Amino acid sequence: MGEFVNLEVSDGVGTIRLDRPKMNALNKQVQEEIRAAALEATERADVKAVVIYGGERVFAAGADIKEMADMSYTDMVDRSAGLQSAFTSVAQIPKPVVAAVTGYALGGGCELALCADIRIAADNATLGQPEILLGIIPGAGGTQRLTRLVGPSKAKDIILTGRFVKADEALAIGLVDKLVPAAEVYTAAVEWASQFSNAASYAVRAAKEAVDRGLEVDLATGLEIERIQFASLFATEDRTIGMASFMENGPGKASFRGA
């Protein structure tokens, strides 16, 4: 259990909850507690999907600038790899991950949301990468994950200007996937995550890995990744259960065991 970040598990859904008043500023301690929670969610068999949530008021307003203000070049050389890898630990959770975005998700907060598979946001949420206004650039994946999500032109517009992106625009450009009233964000995220509680866990994991790794390589290599993942699932018990259920009862009625 961390001081500011905890993993709470209920009915197969793990919630990585950020709670550092007032705005969930992502200092080094919070970053490392996010890493620990992500690793715990990865390792726990009772966690089938993950929600990242900053509370009713704010997702995360960014890095702790007070902590960074006096850091030298060599200080940041030493810290930057740990900063990136803490966020990457969330992206590498081999289970479906949804960010429940309320209030502000700026700078590091936006970068954390980008590590999720999908983003459900409040209809009054605000996202952005305003680092340029501090004389720096995103350093926890923003230049890479945002570009892969919305394309280079839109990513450059957001990153080079540092402007804030309101919820309706975020939905239009694919930065978020669904808008709901602010009071319903967490419930909607849990609802999405809950559909995996009884899923074929190894198939879900293989599908996520095939998509993520395929984005990093050429088409031929991506197809080979898919082929290997596809074939490997024929060693699972759930594949046998799923196909038998389909032949007997039709699609969508299998009772998987996660094995």
Q: What is the CATH number of domain 5-194?
A: 3.90.226.10
| pLDDT value of residue 38 | 98
Mean pLDDT of 47-67: 94
* DSSP letters for 149-193: HH-HHHHHHHHHH--EEEHHHHHHHTSSSEEE-GGGHHHHHHHHH
Q: What is the structure's pLDDT at 227?
A: 97
pTM: 0.94
With a cut of 90, say whether residue 64 has pLDDT above it: no
Query: Taking 90 as the threshold, does the pLDDT of residue 173 lie above it?
Result: yes
CA separation for the pair 246, 9 (Å, rounded): 31
For the segment 202-217, the average pLDDT, to the nearest whole number, is 96
- pLDDT tens digits along 11-55: 999 999 999 999 999 999 999 999 999 999 999 999 999 999 999
Q: Tokens in use for 52?
A: 């990242």
Instruction: Report, as an integer, the average pLDDT of 92-113.
Output: 97
* Cβ atoms of 105 and 98 closer than 8 Å: no
Listed by start position, the domains of the chain span 5-194, 201-249
Please list the active-site residues: 63, 108, 111, 131
Model confidence at 211: pLDDT above 90: yes
Into which CATH architecture does domain 201-249 fall? Orthogonal Bundle (1.10)
Q: Which residue has the higher pLDDT, 169 or 252?
A: 169
- Mean residue pLDDT of the chain comes to 96
Longest C-alpha distance within the chain, in Å?
66
Each residue's pLDDT tens digit, 74-89: 999 988 898 899 999 9
